[in-house]
Copies of this chain bind each other. A is one copy, B any other.
């Protein structure tokens, strides 16, 4: 089904390994020799495939932003045909979870190394990101018309933070459950967050609010 993975081109190999390394140690923390070694060639051989290190990062970030946006649009059109905002939001959440779990390194890069791009590329990525956020905000506002836009946007960003937390879940080794369990956990948490957003928030208290007076801690 989904991705073909049939014939991973050299370019694709390089991009994949570069994404992993950039996510692990940061853009400046990885040398071109390491990227080359990761795909079996060494150092400057990369320059047969890319104009430079920056070009790799640019292609990665533009690519991921574009794919996120495209996937989101498809899901809005697909699930939105029924006119049910809840179903659309659920589909967006599922899609983002898939993405976060499939392409962990890219998700990490996505909000970490944006400033390293040339102005034009950075503007493009920002625009794609903004469109993706707007997709979510629109759906959230359809679902909860009483929620002001600024809160909806804040909630969307916060839920992105929640869903993108997968890199911190210690992928290998840790006695952590399978992918399906992680998927359903994240799904449940995300839905719970949005559900809380929908609650009025003025009348009823959210939960045990704790006494705000005792601001101990923070020494």
Contact = CB atoms under 8 A, between A and B. Distances in A.
A94 B212 contact: yes
A216 interface: yes
A43 to B, nearest CB: 19
Copies in the complex: 2
Interface residues on A, range: 35 or more
A165 B163 CA distance: 11
Contacts of A53: none
A168 interface: yes
Nearest to A154: B185
A169 to B, nearest CB: 6
A103 to B, nearest CB: 9
Interface of A: 1-3, 24-29, 67, 70-72, 74-75, 78-79, 84, 86-91, 94-95, 98-99, 102, 111-113, 115-116, 150-151, 153-155, 157-165, 168-169, 175-177, 181-182, 184-197, 199, 201, 206-212, 214-219
